[in-house]
Amino acid sequence: MADANSEEQLVTQHNDLIRAVAEMDRMPLKLFEVIVGAYDSRKSQNSVRIKKDLFYEFLNINSTNRSYRLQVAINELHKHSVFLVRSVEQDGSVTKRSIAPIEEFYWNSAKNYVEVTFSRKILPYISMLQDNFTQYKLTDIAGLNSKHAITLYKLIAMNFNQYQYYIKHKPRFRNSHQLDQYANPYIELKELRRITNTMNKYSRFSSFDSTVLKNPIEEINNNTDFNVTYEKKISNRKVVGITFHITKEGFNDKISEPDISDNEKHKESLEEAYQEALKSTYTIMLVSAGVFDLVTIMNNKGFAVKLLEEVYPAYDAFIEEFSETKLKNHINHVSKYKNNDVSTDTLPNYLYTSITSYIDELREKNTKETSKKISSSKKKITRQIETLPEWATENDPKPTKQLDPEEAEKLQVKINNQLEKLRGRKDNTKLED
């Protein structure tokens, strides 16, 4: 069983979990971060033991009833913690999962630790068994005192970690546009509201701005190594998205140029990139669609490497935001309508411009569709109000049917006969008396 005592823990979470909706408040959310930080995926266990003192320090519980307060926070986490995880499959379909992360808590007043058992469903999202994971310092989370600050911090760390990776570990992937997307990520307002669980809160953007963006980012800047600013993207006089600008204290983002004087080393790096380009799934897609033939890429290493460095990272970003199916459709469209004047030298730039333009087009389309749905819903509600049901008008005065003179005379005769009968009964009764 894993035992966590270190104050300098790293928390590891899958990017899908970071983008998930956390159905819990600040204290249970911070508690969950401590527990995840204690989990060691290298051990075949789904339980961890965490010293109570670590909880007290991390959650800043210093009162005499700290044991009781910790138990309340643990019970709150166990009862109400839910993550709504959304992921896009290879075929473009969207999968949604509702996951309760904690199976059991063990507490004993005589023990100096708490034992936590994770549910099996959450393990793939907190262990580095696959790609797309983000690590961040547990001590950073400790200084954040709002749920939205924690949520934004994890989003920021996820994007900046990818930026660091491409800068430091894969220097040949230097496409400035791709790096810019990681250091300055753009998130649509609708998606940001989903992640922060504010779809039905703060209808006025000024309230959303203050509560979800301005104050939490101020917390992040004051308590972590990140320095974050943001700007609003406005369309039709409405805010439709947010671009975050991220830097990190102590991080050197200067890309070291390869030592060209070492000819053999440079050739080896170029050959490695060339081989990776040939094996890429995107190369297969482009050749299959007829954008270029296999002979072209095999006989032109510079062309292959340029695709790998400039175009393929943009394809990665496209699939992450949309789907592989849409990318294939786009490539087929490019192949069909590509200008014959596009040469091998200019083709990488042509492909990059095409995919980025398509991304902008899809984003604008999604924004318009969302606005149209909202407008349609409002119209539907208005129609429902205007067309009242029968019960709503049942007390309204109904028009009286007008009888013609003949029918009125017959009715009057009938009424007179009934009255005569009643009088006759009364007279007979008096005689009997």
Over pLDDT 70: what percentage of the chain? Answer: 74
217-226, 227-236, 385-394: segment of lowest average pLDDT: 385-394
State mean pLDDT over 165-189.
73
Structure letter (DSSP) for residue 349: H
State mean pLDDT over 122-144.
75
Which positions ≥6 away from 335 have C-beta within 8 Å?
286, 289, 290, 291
Position 399 scores a pLDDT of: 45
Looking from the CA of 39 toward its CB, the CA atoms found within 13 Å total 28
Q: How far apart are CA 118 and CA 102, in angstroms?
A: 5
Q: Which comes out higher in pLDDT, residue 55 or 381?
A: 55
Name the helix (H) or strand (E) containing 379. helix 347-386
Position 300 scores a pLDDT of: 87
pLDDT of 390 strictly over 60: no
pLDDT tens-place string over residues 326-338: 999 999 999 888 8
Q: Answer whether 305's CB lies under 8 Å from 274's CB.
A: yes
Q: How far apart are CA 414 and CA 399, in angstroms?
A: 24
Q: What angle do CA 132, 133, 135 make, to 5 degrees?
A: 150
* 3-class DSSP state of 114: strand
Q: Answer whether 319's CB lies under 8 Å from 331's CB.
A: no
pLDDT tens-place string over residues 371-380: 666 666 666 6
| Domains along the chain with CATH numbers | 1-134 (1.10.10.10), 143-256 (1.10.10.10), 263-368 (no CATH)
Write the single-letter amino acid at 94. V
Assign residue 236 a region: left if phi > 0, alpha if psi is -120 to 50, beta otherwise?
Answer: left
Q: Answer whether 245's CB lies under 8 Å from 182's CB.
A: no
pLDDT tens-place string over residues 183-204: 899 999 999 999 999 999 999 9
pLDDT of 240 strictly over 90: yes
Structure letter (DSSP) for residue 301: H
By C-alpha distance, which of 188, 225, 145, 243 is closest to 19? 188
Q: How far apart are CA 264 and CA 228, in angstroms?
A: 41
